[in-house]
């Protein structure tokens, strides 16, 4: 009796062997055999039908970011594959482990410009860790094993499998072995003791050290090791956008958020510290500002798993190439206990300046329209600072990063490197599926919310309990801010006439509330959070609101507007 199975079933069995329990996607002609096979595995795999392929990729990203697993989505060929490009690029920029399986025309039709044929591998190679076309059923187990190994190991990222239709229908003897090695790919290097010793020597002689914490700490599960290192050496630390929840917000050495709209103190101290320790971050331009004037007085120590990042933007004095968890363990052992009380206390004056000039009027306005900051902080406090923050992109994103508070790791899901408007709703779907026990709060502006508003259908059909907060200022707010500050208030194509978002929520049978008065805000937030069902809260916020502080793009990191 033959033990052969169809390639489509071999794919599903391969995914199960890799521990996949959730798939996001959208069916179509070239991938029908795979969806047919999936029909028989509904008790083992939770399949979420999104309303757009971009939504599927962002949902897979949200799932991966909160769960620590590889996100998976399956789409069909042609336009479906190209619709997934944005999410693939986003995952590459933000080091998110994801496997995208795209249907493709049969092998005999490749290169003939067949219906819905497109060169998926050629298009996606520059924005993936690996892109591969499966042309026969025999290739399926090894290709899937390699895909997951590459996606999750080293610096994580997206992998694309272009799945020819004939490979889905052919019969194959199924045998699966997980991949532990692939020639030419070195996910991480053994940490060199000399690098540890050199870095420790610099830190042990530092008078004004400052640590910058990136998402690499979270990806390597090094949160405890980070806190131990900072405590032992008494080093203040600040986080990048994606590294925000690596430290609890109330950790005594946590000095906040760095970057264009970050906190004044850590940005100013970047150009005052004598040692700058970058941990799992890539010195993005939104963090460094003008490179010619960035931390020139400091000895720079860079810890990263990706050798291409070290020295790419900022020259380093010492490097530690390898996994952040292992690096921090080894570094802490060689670091001497220290006290930097005077240096740490010197942050306080800038914190007071920022509170007086920015925070007080943003969080505690005595009159006028509702501010974005007060909405964010009230929602955070109402969840006891335990929620997962998901954001769209724009002013809502920066306000959320500044004023949401965190008590546990893997609590920030946002589009950092690519800055993808429309990321919010689908990413929140994935985050809630990936961490169903947690409250997921998604903040969006009126612009980004409409870019993937169709994913409300996914929330409705799968009853996914995300809490969506639209801060509506009737503008493309961040572009409007730049137009006000740098383009003489010439508001070209930024005012928006919006639909009634609450009526749209009603159409999708999602509970909702509209708030335009400050005195109604607390009650509306309480109503939103009273159960675990989906909810849309639309808040009318000040139209002319600005996100301050702000370092103008390309300017010196200490030239801060407030």
**Distance between CA 133 and CA 206 in Å, rounded?**
52
Q: Which residues contact 92 (CB under 8 A, 6 or more apart)?
A: 127, 128, 129, 157, 158
Question: Given strand 22-25, what is the order of strands in its sheet?
Answer: 46-49, 22-25, 71-75, 98-104, 158-164, 130-134
Active site residue 224: no
Dihedral sign, CA of 22, 66, 418, 160? negative
Q: Catalytic: which of 478, 501, 535, 550?
A: 478
Residue of 315, 288, 212, 295 lying closest to 554 (CA atoms): 288
Active site residue 115: yes
Length of the chain: 562
Dihedral sign, CA of 397, 401, 406, 409? positive
Active site residue 478: yes
**Distance between CA 62 and CA 82 in Å, rounded?**
20
Residue of 371, 378, 393, 400 lying closest to 540 (CA atoms): 371
Residue of 90, 31, 32, 30 lying closest to 61 (CA atoms): 90
Task: Tell me the Cα Rg of the chain.
Answer: 24
| H helix intervals, 346-443 | 347-354, 360-363, 372-382, 395-403, 424-434
Q: Catalytic: which of 6, 129, 165, 467?
A: 165
Q: Catalytic: which of 18, 53, 139, 455?
A: 53
Q: What SS3 string covers 75-86?
A: ECCCHHHHHCHH
Q: Catalytic: which of 44, 115, 193, 296?
A: 115
**Distance between CA 302 and CA 8 in Å, rounded?**
45
**Distance between CA 172 and CA 176 in Å, rounded?**
12
Active site residue 178: no
Alpha carbon separation from 411 to 63, 243, 333 (Å, rounded)? 12, 10, 29
Active site residue 165: yes
Catalytic residue numbers, as ranges: 53, 115-116, 165, 478
């Amino acid at each position: 009796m033959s033990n052969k199975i169809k390639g489509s079933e071999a794919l599903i069995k391969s995914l199960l062997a890799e521990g996949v329990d959730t798939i996001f996607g959208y069916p179509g002609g070239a991938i029908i055999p795979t969806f047919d096979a999936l029909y028989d595995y509904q008790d083992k795999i939770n399949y979420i039908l999104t309303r757009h392929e971009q939504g599927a990729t962002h949902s897979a990203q949200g799932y991966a970011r909160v769960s620590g697993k590889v996100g998976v989505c399956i789409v069909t060929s042609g336009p479906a594959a190209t619709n997934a490009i944005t999410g693939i690029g986003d995952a590459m920029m933000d080091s998110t482990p994801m496997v995208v399986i795209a249907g493709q025309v049969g092998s005999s039709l490749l290169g003939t410009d067949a219906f819905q044929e497109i060169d998926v591998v050629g298009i996606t190679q520059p924005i993936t860790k690996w892109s591969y076309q499966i042309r026969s059923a025999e290739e399926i187990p090894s290709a899937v094993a390699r895909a997951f190994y590459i996606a999750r190991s080293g610096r994580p990222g997206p992998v694309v499998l272009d799945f020819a239709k004939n490979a889905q229908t052919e019969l194959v003897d199924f045998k699966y072995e997980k991949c532990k090695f692939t020639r030419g790919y070195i996910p991480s290097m053994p940490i060199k003791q000399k690098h540890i010793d050199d870095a420790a020597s610099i830190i042990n002689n530092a008078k004004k050290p400052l640590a910058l914490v990136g998402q690499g700490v979270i990806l390597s599960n090094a949160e405890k090791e980070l806190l131990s290192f900072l405590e032992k050496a008494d080093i203040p630390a600040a986080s990048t956008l994606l590294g925000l929840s690596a430290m609890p917000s109330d950790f005594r050495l946590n000095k906040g958020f760095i970057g264009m709209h970050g906190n004044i103190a850590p940005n100013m101290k970047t150009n005052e510290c004598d040692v700058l320790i970058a941990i799992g971050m890539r010195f993005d331009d939104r963090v460094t500002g003008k490179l010619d004037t960035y931390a020139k007085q400091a000895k720079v120590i860079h810890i990263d798993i990706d050798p291409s990042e070290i020295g790419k933007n900022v020259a380093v004095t010492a490097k530690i190439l390898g996994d952040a968890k292992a690096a921090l363990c080894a570094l802490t052992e060689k670091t001497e206990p220290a006290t930097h009380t005077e240096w740490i206390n010197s942050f306080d004056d800038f914190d007071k300046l920022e509170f007086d000039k920015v925070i007080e009027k943003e969080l505690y306005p005595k009159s006028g329209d509702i501010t974005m900051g007060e909405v964010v902080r009230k929602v955070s406090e109402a969840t006891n600072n335990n929620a997962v923050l998901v954001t769209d992109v724009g002013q809502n994103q920066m306000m959320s990063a500044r004023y949401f508070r965190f008590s546990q790791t893997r609590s920030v899901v946002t589009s950092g490197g690519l800055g993808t408007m429309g990321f919010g709703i689908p990413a929140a779907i994935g985050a809630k599926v990936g961490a169903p026990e947690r409250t997921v709060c998604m903040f969006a502006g009126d612009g980004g919310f409409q870019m993937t508003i169709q994913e409300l259908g996914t929330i409705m059909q799968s009853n996914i309990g995300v809490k969506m907060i639209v801060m509506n200022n009737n503008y493309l707010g961040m572009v409007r801010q730049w137009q006000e500050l740098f383009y003489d208030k010439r508001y070209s194509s930024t005012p928006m006439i919006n639909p009634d978002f609450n009526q749209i929520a009603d159409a999708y049978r999602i509970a909702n509330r509209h708030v335009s008065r400050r005195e109604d805000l607390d009650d509306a937030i309480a109503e939103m959070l009273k159960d675990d069902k989906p909810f849309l809260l639309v808040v009318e916020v000040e139209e002319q609101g600005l996100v301050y502080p702000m370092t103008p793009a390309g300017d010196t990191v200490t030239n801060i507007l407030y």
